[in-house]
Amino acid sequence: MNKDGQHKKYFYESFHIGLSTRFTVQNPELVYFETYGCQMNVNDTDIAWSILRDNGYMRTNSSTEADVILLVTCSIREKAEQTIWNRLKHFVTLKDKRTKSQVPLKIGILGCMAERLKEEILEREKLVDVLAGPDSYRDLPRLLTVAEAGQKAVNVLLSLDETYADVMPVQVNSKTKSAFVSIMRGCNNMCSYCIVPFTRGRERSRPVSSILEEVRVLSDQGVKEVTLLGQNVNSYCDTSEVQFHTKEPTHLSRGFRTIYKSKLGGLRFADLLDQVSTINPEMRIRFTSPHPKDFPDEVLHVIQDRDNICKLLHLPVQSGSSQVLKAMRRGYTRESYLELVERVHRIIPGVCLSSDFIAGFCGETEDDHLQTISVLRLVQYNIGFLFAYSMRKKTHAHHRLQDDVPAAVKQRRLQELISVFREEAAKINSELIGSKQLVLVEGFSKKSEQELCGRNDGNTKVIFPNVDTACNQSSGQLAPVKPGDYVLVQVSDILTLDKEKTARLQKSHEYNYQQYFT
């Protein structure tokens, strides 16, 4: 029972042992992390490390010298899990070689894969010592203590209220000028293909006061870009304070609906965005991953009105066919999605768009596939994430639908989607040539210290010469450019490097940039 007299509820209660707030290790052990999957997993790694550091652990970047190896895992697709299984074999071999050492190696699986495949992992990999789900990181010190005694240590409870609001994540690279800030956890959407509600639990939003405090701390540390994170980030709804308790229902994008009961009251995403953006006008604000249903006009207007909120919106469509969208339980039609895109362009001129696409979902016909291709051509996304459908156990699709599109057809359709996406993205991205772009400098380019790289508002990587430049628009004084600086650049060419586009500035008369902020 919590301080408000309410009982904590969990979706999964097997293996539960009471939590302890502090398990300080007598002799500091070295812990090594490997992180797979989404940005939330990167942030979860920082949270887990913060908890372990406070309990006396030390961190290492070498798996061979570690006493504890923790894999923060992803289950979104079968390929992601297979990558982790393969990596686990390497670490188990490493453990076999160290069983007679003074400090036996402990291996832990954290996150979504631990939640989804708990029994299978324990059965298949006998040398895994610790399993901890996404809501169990506070219990890691105790779990590692249990493992030290030679017992299996498991906690895969899913909480209705855990947000780690009081845990300040510790970033590995203190020199980085960008950071992730988790604002909510879990997802209520229950899309038929998606495992996330079963591995991350139901939605719960972090109190706005703790979010604002973390962003202020990051700003004081010199961070210049913050990305707000959540599985359904724009459905944020904070009801932690009395003044937020109203009867006003959740505002959705026009023509969209939910399969769950609408939330009442609470401080909403538009309010949070507005407050975060005012903390430091020179700090860029991004957010991911949103759902198209949660873009009411008030959110779009805040994005347009605040210069430091990046004008890049992720609008995951998944399919261009209303029939497939219905089977996916997405809560919108092709027509309502395209109306949202039109409204976004009208309210936020010059906006960049990204999206997710699934090729070969259950029951998808050739006509459905062609409708998805037509959406790619109509919208012309700047960035795309495209995948062949991978059936996940426990999902609605696994229980109710048939994975009836042959693997070869999925791959063919996927390649066709990728081809059309690249064709249309090249058209729209070519419009950057000759334009001036505000770029946040990240550091040296991979190829040479004679070049710097950074990203513009639309998250395009920009490469430019590493030379001293004017400190402001009116001054002739030159200074070196360093990570965290903003520079104004003029784009001379667009290159495609593997999975992302790159704007390159040649050493030519077109090259012209200066620091944006004094």
Mean pLDDT throughout 94-102?
76
Q: Output DSSP code: residue 444.
A: E
pLDDT of residue 472: 62
Residue 329, helix vs strand vs coil: coil
pLDDT of residue 478: 82
CB of 499 within 8 A of CB of 491? no
Structural domain including 47 reads 30-155
Per the listing, tokens 């700047």 go with: 382
Q: What percent of the chain has pLDDT over 90?
A: 67
Query: Is the pLDDT reported for residue 455 higher than 90?
Result: yes
Lowest mean pLDDT among 239-243, 274-278, 339-343, 373-377: 239-243
> Does residue 330 lie within any of the structural domains?
yes
Same domain as 451, residue 424: no
Per the listing, tokens 């909510």 go with: 184
Query: Is the pLDDT reported for residue 108 higher than 70?
Result: yes
Same domain as 493, residue 423: no
Task: Count CA within 13 A, CB hemisphere, residue 278.
Answer: 8
The sign one gets for the Cα dihedral 174, 177, 182, 187 is negative
> Does residue 204 lie within any of the structural domains?
yes
CB of 88 within 8 A of CB of 125? yes
pLDDT of residue 252: 87
Choose the final residue of a domain: 397, 432, 467.
432
Same domain as 410, residue 341: yes
Per the listing, tokens 């998944």 go with: 318
Helix (H) or strand (E) holding 166: none
Mean pLDDT throughout 168-175?
78
Which residue spans within 254-344 are E strands per DSSP?
267-268, 284-288, 312-314
We report the CATH number of the domain holding residue 463 as 2.40.50
Mean pLDDT throughout 452-469?
89
pLDDT in tens, 389-446: 999 999 999 999 999 999 999 999 999 999 999 999 999 988 888 888 899 999 998 8
How far apart CA 73 and CA 92 sit, in angstroms, is: 16
Query: Is the pLDDT reported for residue 122 higher than 90?
Result: no
DSSP for 178-236, please give it. EEEEE-EE------TT--HHHHH-S-EEPPHHHHHHHHHHHHHTT--EEEEE-TTGGG-
> Does residue 3 lie within any of the structural domains?
no
In three state form, how does the secondary structure of 349-417 look?
A: CCCEEEEEEEECCCCCCHHHHHHHHHHHHHHCCCEEEEEECCCCCCCHHHHHCCCCCCHHHHHHHHHHH
- Per-residue pLDDT band at 101 (split at 50, 70, 90): low
> Does residue 4 lie within any of the structural domains?
no
pLDDT of residue 245: 67
We report the CATH number of the domain holding residue 39 as 3.40.50.12160
Residues in the chain: 518
419 Cβ partners below 8 Å, 6+ apart?
Answer: none
How far apart CA 26 and CA 55 sit, in angstroms, is: 10
* 68-73 and 106-111 strand pairing: parallel
pLDDT of residue 172: 66
Same domain as 502, residue 419: no
pLDDT of residue 15: 36
The sign one gets for the Cα dihedral 483, 459, 83, 148 is positive
65 Cβ partners below 8 Å, 6+ apart?
Answer: 30
> Does residue 286 lie within any of the structural domains?
yes
State the total domains in the chain. 4
Token representation of residue 44:
């979860």
Token representation of residue 420:
């059309």
> Does residue 20 lie within any of the structural domains?
no
Same domain as 454, residue 332: no
CB of 299 within 8 A of CB of 273? yes
Lowest mean pLDDT among 19-28, 109-118, 358-367, 375-384: 19-28
Choose the final residue of a domain: 375, 406, 432.
432
Q: What is the mean pLDDT of the chain?
A: 87
pLDDT in tens, 286-307: 999 999 999 999 999 999 999 9
Same domain as 258, residue 137: no
> Does residue 13 lie within any of the structural domains?
no
Mean pLDDT throughout 499-506?
46
Same domain as 146, residue 35: yes
Q: What percent of the chain has pLDDT over 70?
A: 87
Residue type, 210: S
234 Cβ partners below 8 Å, 6+ apart?
Answer: 269, 287, 290, 291, 294, 295, 299
- Per-residue pLDDT band at 502 (split at 50, 70, 90): low
Same domain as 350, residue 296: no
We report the CATH number of the domain holding residue 425 as 3.30.750.200
Same domain as 147, residue 120: yes
Selection from 405, 399, 515, 395 nearest residue 467 by Cα: 515
pLDDT in tens, 330-345: 999 999 999 999 999 9
Same domain as 116, residue 38: yes
Same domain as 357, residue 260: no
How far apart CA 117 and CA 81 sit, in angstroms, is: 10
Query: Whole-prediction pTM value?
Result: 0.88
Same domain as 351, residue 292: no
We report the CATH number of the domain holding residue 226 as 3.30.750.210
Choose the final residue of a domain: 275, 310, 345.
310
- Per-residue pLDDT band at 5 (split at 50, 70, 90): very low
Number of other residues whose CB lies within 10 A of the CB of residue 103? 13
CB of 454 within 8 A of CB of 441? yes
> Does residue 12 lie within any of the structural domains?
no
